[in-house]
Amino acid sequence: GAVVSQHPSWVICKSGTSVKIECRSLDFQATTMFWYRQFPKQSLMLMATSNEGSKATYEQGVEKDKFLINHASLTLSTLTVTSAHPEDSSFYICSARAGLAPYNEQFFGPGTRLTVL
């Protein structure tokens, strides 16, 4: 149980285009999903917290107009990187909080490697 999937697993795009990444909780309902980015050999950096049916909360320094997050259902959240540039190339990982667990147990997706040319 507690499986989180991401699609696509990798994507290459041209500078200036937009890319959408999907995050799904396959066997549980996720009221909250989190989006992270990770640069090589570095830790995970939280980008935003996404609650189903409401606007995402972005971390300081993360451009909300560039990284659009939508959490339309209890099993799906999407991250759209708009007008992507080479500096947006990174490993994007989502996580989902397991339902009503009293503690903040989170399960991570396999990540999406974005390369912007």
Partner 1 sequence: QQQVKQSPQSLIVQKGGISIINCAYENTAFDYFPWYQQFPGKGPALLIAIRPDVSEKKEGRFTISFNKSAKQFSLHIMDSQPGDSATYFCAASISGNTPLVFGKGTRLSVIA
**Given 81, 107, 114, 116, the residue binding partner 1 (CB under 8 A):** 107
Contact of 95 with 112, CB cutoff 8 Å: no
**Given 41, 60, 61, 65, the residue binding partner 1 (CB under 8 A):** 41
Q: Which is nearer to partner 1, 87 or 104 (CB)?
A: 104
State yes or no: residue 42 binds partner 1 (CB under 8 A).
Answer: yes
State yes or no: residue 111 binds partner 1 (CB under 8 A).
Answer: yes
- Binding to partner 1, residues 53-72 (CB under 8 A): none
Question: Nearest Cα to 39, choosing from 97, 94, 93?
Answer: 93
State yes or no: residue 110 binds partner 1 (CB under 8 A).
Answer: yes
Determine the interface stretch with partner 1 among 14-22, 44-52, 63-71, 73-81 (rule: CB under 8 A).
Answer: 44-52
State yes or no: residue 103 binds partner 1 (CB under 8 A).
Answer: yes
